[in-house]
Amino acid sequence: MKIERVSDEHALYLRDESRSVGKADFIAFPVCDEDVLEALAFARTNGLAVTTQGGRTGLAAGAVPHGGLVLNLSRMDKVLGVERAEGSVLMRVQPGVLLVNLRKYVEGLRGTYGPLFFPPDPTETTASIGGMTACNASGARTYFYGPTRRYVEGLRVLLADGRSVTLRRGQQSASGRRLLLRCDDGSRLFLPLPSYRMPAVKNASGYYAAYGMDAVDLFVGSDGTLGIITEVLLRLEPLPAQIWECGLLLKTEKDALDLTKALRKNCSRLASIEFFDEGALRVLRERKARDASLSSLADVPEDVHSILFAEIHADSKEAAFAELEKASTCLSTCGGDPARTWFGWNAADIRRFKDFRHAVPESVNMLIDARRRKEPGITKLGTDMSVPDDCLYKVFAMYREGLAQLGLQSAVWGHIGNNHVHVNILPNSLEEYARAKELYGTWAKRVTSMGGAVSAEHGVGKLKASFLETMYGAAAIEEMRELKRTIDPAFMLNPGNLFGAKD
Ligand SMILES: Cc1cc2nc3c(=O)[nH]c(=O)nc-3n(C[C@H](O)[C@H](O)[C@H](O)COP(=O)(O)OP(=O)(O)OC[C@H]3O[C@@H](n4cnc5c(N)ncnc54)[C@H](O)[C@@H]3O)c2cc1C
């Protein structure tokens, strides 16, 4: 494998979807474990930091290098095998397999194993399985199915010193808060696990730490700081016979919050409840008016303030229809008109809904890119925080109050079923950007006091390192550092992630 000096042609590999741009001296594109080990040996010999990359769709700058060697795993993109185990179908993949390709592969298994699917569904399907595992990615269906962690049955991880660890769920677990990690060469690592209690919300903030936890869970969601994941064993689920979706149009935000609450209470077969606010719909409308490629997307009537998308998963048409009726009843009790509901009954309709939902972040990113051409110092500030169910109204009030007080433009969307929306602040100037950053910091504190998480699905990466301290406190960060130091004493892997720039 060639380890190349970074040149202009590698500009793409210095950034991710957070739009942060880093720097690096070398880059390597391994295709197998031996290549990764060679790159790690090169980094150790030359005292280089290593930044691992998957699909670079991350939004927390986790894959953005701060010097040293970029290890881009996009060519480790093979499906290594499919097996049946204890009634489940498991799929072993290299980390560079993209979600979009994994889905096609799973579709092709239908003849042998019946209809299956992999539930985690980040909106950006060019995310890689390695990146999704490192961030414990989620998506809309996490409302019902949970995050990536739940579907990771095993891992192969290469450590900074070149040792490997092959893990299968249930085979290595902690004793209390101490984990004796058995490496493949028979050696052992005694890992002190942090003592904090994780919040009972959707969470991808810092290391997973719990009494008696499985070793697999330590690496899932570790932001690539503990090792390089070179194989993932995924569990697939039976595909529901009926997947329907509806778009519920609402005139006020309060109606949308009431409807979320009502759907959660009355419906049992919803895989997702997704939200788009007035600001998000406005950005989309404006782009649609200019961009012919979006002409197939549905027009949103001018009097619509918010849309909730709810996806129904059921075993029969009757069950799906009953669920739809319940959702319609909830809609009419929350100020909506069921006659205006958008329906999707088949794969083509659902594709159109997904295109609509994907076009929103894309349009916002394009808007910010245009503003950055005038003022390169600004970026979009997108939150990723979750709170407990009983704080849904409170957190929305907090967001609206802060945005109104500072007069900042925003577009809000996301996984409202999990009380987890992305508030995207869209600054026009450096001055607005500075105010927005401050506001984001105060929100992180208040969300923490509500029992929430500062990152629910994107991981902490480099951009949210200070919020991690807000959430857990300085002593907990020191415990995380201690864990990291035990497994990667030189802080070689993904420096800057979780702990900020000084490591
Ligand atoms: C439009 C858009 C919509 C999105 N929607 C969602 C969403 O709904 N839900 C969601 O969760 N995310 C979402 N994301 C964010 C992103 O897709 C996820 O964070 C995804 O998990 C990143 O995967 P990746 O392969 O691109 O990882 P990268 O960006 O390449 O890396 C992310 C992190 O993982 C580490 N990493 C990558 N591969 C490995 C490996 N093999 N071993 C160790 N560490 C590794 C990197 O070092 C980095 O820290 C969205 C992004 C965009 C642009």
Q: How far is the CA of 135 from the centre of ligand 1 (A)?
A: 6
Q: How far is the CA of 185 from the centre of ligand 1 (A)?
A: 30
* Atom of ligand 1 at shortest range from CA of 130: 41
* pLDDT value of position 500: 87
Q: Write out the two tokens for 94.
A: 């290299």
Closest residue CA from atom 18 of ligand 1 = 58
* Atom of ligand 1 at shortest range from CA of 497: 49
Q: What is the pTM of this model?
A: 0.95
* pLDDT value of position 123: 87
What's the rounded Cα separation, in Å, for the pair 240 and 249? 26
Q: Per residue, what are the HEC states of 211-243?
A: CCCEHHHHHCCCCCCCCEEEEEEEEEEECCCEE
pLDDT band at residue 86 using 50, 70 and 90 as cut-offs:
confident
DSSP E strands, 38-87: 50-53, 69-72, 79-85
- Are the CB atoms for 158 and 40 separated by under 8 Å? yes
Domain edges within the chain: 3-72, 79-238, 240-374
Options 2.60.200.20, 3.30.465.10, 3.30.1450.10, 3.40.50.1100; CATH of 79-238: 3.30.465.10
* Atom of ligand 1 at shortest range from CA of 62: 49
Work out the percent of the chain whose per-residue pLDDT is above 70.
100
322: left (phi over 0), alpha (psi -120 to 50) or beta: alpha
Instruction: Dump pLDDT digits (tens) for 30-76.
Output: 999 999 999 999 999 999 999 999 999 999 999 999 999 999 999 99
Closest residue CA from atom 16 of ligand 1 = 58
- Are the CB atoms for 426 and 409 separated by under 8 Å? yes
Instruction: Dump pLDDT digits (tens) for 276-287.
Output: 999 999 999 999
Mutate to test the pocket of ligand 1, among 123, 155, 366, 369 (most ligand atoms within 8 A of CB): 123
Q: How far is the CA of 112 from the centre of ligand 1 (A)?
A: 31
pLDDT at 166 over 80: yes
Q: How far is the CA of 500 from the centre of ligand 1 (A)?
A: 18
pLDDT at 204 over 80: yes
Instruction: Dump pLDDT digits (tens) for 295-343.
Output: 989 999 999 999 999 999 999 999 999 999 999 999 999 999 999 999 9
What's the rounded Cα separation, in Å, for the pair 126 and 106? 16
What's the rounded Cα separation, in Å, for the pair 177 and 338? 51
Q: Write out the two tokens for 156.
A: 């192969």
pLDDT at 503 over 70: no
Instruction: Dump pLDDT digits (tens) for 172-199.
Output: 999 999 999 999 999 999 999 999 999 9
Mutate to test the pocket of ligand 1, among 129, 135, 145 (most ligand atoms within 8 A of CB): 135
Find all residues with CB under 8 Å of 464, minimum gap 6, and list them.
60, 205, 384, 454, 455, 458
User: SS3 for 299?
Assistant: coil
Which pairs with CB-CB distance under 8 Å and at least 24 residues apart come from 21-25?
21/64, 22/51, 22/61, 22/64, 22/65, 22/66, 22/67, 23/65, 23/66, 23/67, 24/51, 24/65, 24/67, 24/68, 24/69, 24/70, 25/67, 25/68, 25/69
| Average pLDDT for 392-407 | 98
Q: How far is the CA of 95 from the centre of ligand 1 (A)?
A: 12
Q: Write out the two tokens for 401.
A: 């109050």
pLDDT at 18 over 80: yes
Q: How far is the CA of 333 from the centre of ligand 1 (A)?
A: 38
pLDDT at 248 over 80: yes
What average pLDDT does the structure give for the chain? Answer: 96
Closest residue CA from atom 15 of ligand 1 = 58
Find all residues with CB under 8 Å of 478, minimum gap 6, and list them.
none
Nearest to 300, CA basis, from 241, 258, 249: 249
* Atom of ligand 1 at shortest range from CA of 458: 19
DSSP E strands, 159-294: 164-168, 178-182, 188-192, 228-238, 242-250, 270-276
List ligand 1's pocket residues with C-beta within 6 A.
16-17, 52-59, 62-63, 73, 95, 122-124, 127-128, 130-132, 134-135, 137-139, 223-224, 228-229, 361, 457-459, 461, 494, 497
Q: How far is the CA of 71 from the centre of ligand 1 (A)?
A: 15
Q: Please report where in the chains the tokens 């697999």 appear, as a residue.
A: 216
Write out the CATH class of domain 3-72: alpha beta
pLDDT band at residue 19 using 50, 70 and 90 as cut-offs:
confident
Terminal Cα-to-Cα distance of the chain (whole angstroms): 28
Mutate to test the pocket of ligand 1, among 52, 99, 141, 367 (most ligand atoms within 8 A of CB): 52
pLDDT band at residue 250 using 50, 70 and 90 as cut-offs:
very high
pLDDT at 502 over 60: no
* pLDDT value of position 291: 92
Instruction: Dump pLDDT digits (tens) for 137-159.
Output: 999 999 999 999 999 999 999 99
Query: Looking at the domain that runs over 240-374, which CATH code has it been given?
Result: 3.30.70.2190
**Cα–Cα distance list, 169 to 127, 173, 214 (Å):** 24, 9, 7
- Residue 167 pairs in a beta bridge with 155
pLDDT at 425 over 90: yes
* pLDDT value of position 490: 96
- Are the CB atoms for 235 and 501 separated by under 8 Å? no
Q: How far is the CA of 463 from the centre of ligand 1 (A)?
A: 14
Mutate to test the pocket of ligand 1, among 59, 222, 228 (most ligand atoms within 8 A of CB): 59
* Atom of ligand 1 at shortest range from CA of 365: 1
pLDDT band at residue 347 using 50, 70 and 90 as cut-offs:
confident
Q: Write out the two tokens for 234.
A: 């995924």
| Average pLDDT for 196-216 | 97
